[in-house]
Amino acid sequence: MVSREKELPQVNSCIRLFADQEQIQGYKETLDEIEDVFARLAQVYALAGNDARLKILYLLGQQNELCPCDLSDILQMTVPAVSQHLRKLRDAHLVRTRKTGQTIFYSIMPDQANVIDQLFIHIPNQKSVAV
112 binds, among a copy of itself, DNA, none (CB under 5 to 8 A by kind): none
For residue 97, the partner it binds in DNA, a copy of itself, none, with Cβ less than 5 to 8 A by kind, is DNA
Which of 92, 104, 109, 115 touches a copy of itself by CB under 8 A?
115
Query: Which among DNA, a copy of itself, none contacts residue 3 (Cβ within 5 to 8 A by kind)?
Result: none
Task: Determine the size of the site formed for DNA (CB under 7 A).
Answer: 32
- Which stretches of 12-123 are DSSP H helices? 21-33, 35-48, 51-62, 68-75, 79-91, 113-119
Q: How far apart are CA 72 and CA 80, in angstroms?
A: 9
Quote the CA–CA distance of 83 and 62 in Å, as a whole number: 19
Interaction between residue 37 and a copy of itself (CB under 8 A): yes
Please give the DSSP secondary-structure letter assigned to residue 12: -
Site string for a copy of itself, 44-73 (x = CB under 8 A): xxxxxxxx--xx--xx--xx--xx-xx-xx
Cross-strand pairs, 108: 95
Decide if 82 contacts 73 (C-beta within 8 A). no
Nearer to a copy of itself, 24 or 93 (CB): 24
Q: Return the SS3 of 97.
A: strand
Which residues of the chain form contacts with DNA (CB under 7 A)?
Answer: 2, 13-17, 46, 49-50, 52, 67-69, 77-88, 97, 99, 101-105
